[in-house]
């Protein structure tokens, strides 16, 4: 008596996820810009991508609400070819745990230190769906004492 085994195409034992990119939520003033970034990108590539989006979507500048005065201010966006006149500075939430509230003031952010040649994958603080504040500074600005401009949306009937 022979026993024959029939091989059946079986599904793989575990679904393998190829994590080669992450989504980052860049925040400035009233704006949130989502970028799907490759983990192998360096920061100069990320900076170019963000500046390109800003030039395309917000040529008149980025709007922010002054919480003390209630006035809307505008941060200019450099035009195409003027990218060398600005420096991008990134901030990440100081406390990032599931129990923490979203950052609501400039003091809730800390600067992300990076070099243009650093790869995104080498910065452990950047995870998929991370909130990242950003500022456009003059290229010669030393970046000391930056004030993060991130407005947290509220419902109309909430008190501010």
Residue pair 43/132 in contact (Cβ under 8 Å)? The answer is no
Which residue has tokens 């910065």? 123
Query: Residue 129: which residues within 8 A CB-CB, separation 6 or more?
Result: 22, 23, 24, 25
Provide the domain limits for residue 42. Answer: 22-138
Residue 14 within any structural domain of the chain:
no
What tokens were used for 132?
A: 């990242």
How far does Cα 150 stand from its chain's mean position? Answer: 12
pLDDT value for 8: 55
Asked whether residue 38 carries a pLDDT value surpassing 60, the answer given is yes
Q: Distance between CA atoms of 93 and 102, rounded to whole angstroms? A: 8
**CATH at residue 98:** 3.10.20.90
Mean pLDDT over residues 73-83, rounded?
Answer: 90
Q: How many domains is the chain partitioned into structurally? A: 1
Pairing outcome for strands 130-138 and 21-28:
parallel
Residue 34 within any structural domain of the chain:
yes
- The pTM of the full predicted model, rounded to 2 decimals, is 0.79
Residue 111 within any structural domain of the chain:
yes
pLDDT value for 130: 93
Q: Distance between CA atoms of 50 and 48, rounded to whole angstroms? A: 6
Which of 91, 104, 87 shows the shortest CA–CA distance to 138? 87
């Amino acid at each position: 008596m022979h026993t024959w085994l029939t091989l059946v195409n079986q599904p793989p034992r575990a679904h393998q996820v190829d994590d080669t990119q992450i989504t980052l939520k860049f925040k400035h003033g009233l704006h949130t810009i989502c970028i799907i970034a490759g983990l192998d990108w360096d920061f100069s590539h990320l900076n170019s991508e963000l500046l390109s989006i800003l030039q395309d979507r917000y040529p008149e500048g980025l709007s922010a609400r002054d919480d003390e005065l209630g006035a809307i201010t505008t941060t200019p966006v450099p035009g195409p070819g003027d990218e060398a006149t600005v420096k991008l500075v990134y901030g990440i939430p100081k406390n990032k745990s599931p129990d923490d509230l979203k950052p609501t003031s400039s003091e809730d952010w800390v600067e992300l230190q990076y070099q243009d040649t650093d790869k995104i994958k080498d910065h452990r603080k950047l995870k998929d769906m991370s909130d990242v504040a950003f500022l456009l500074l003059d290229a010669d600005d030393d970046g000391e004492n930056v004030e993060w401009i991130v407005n947290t949306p509220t419902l109309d009937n909430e008190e501010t």
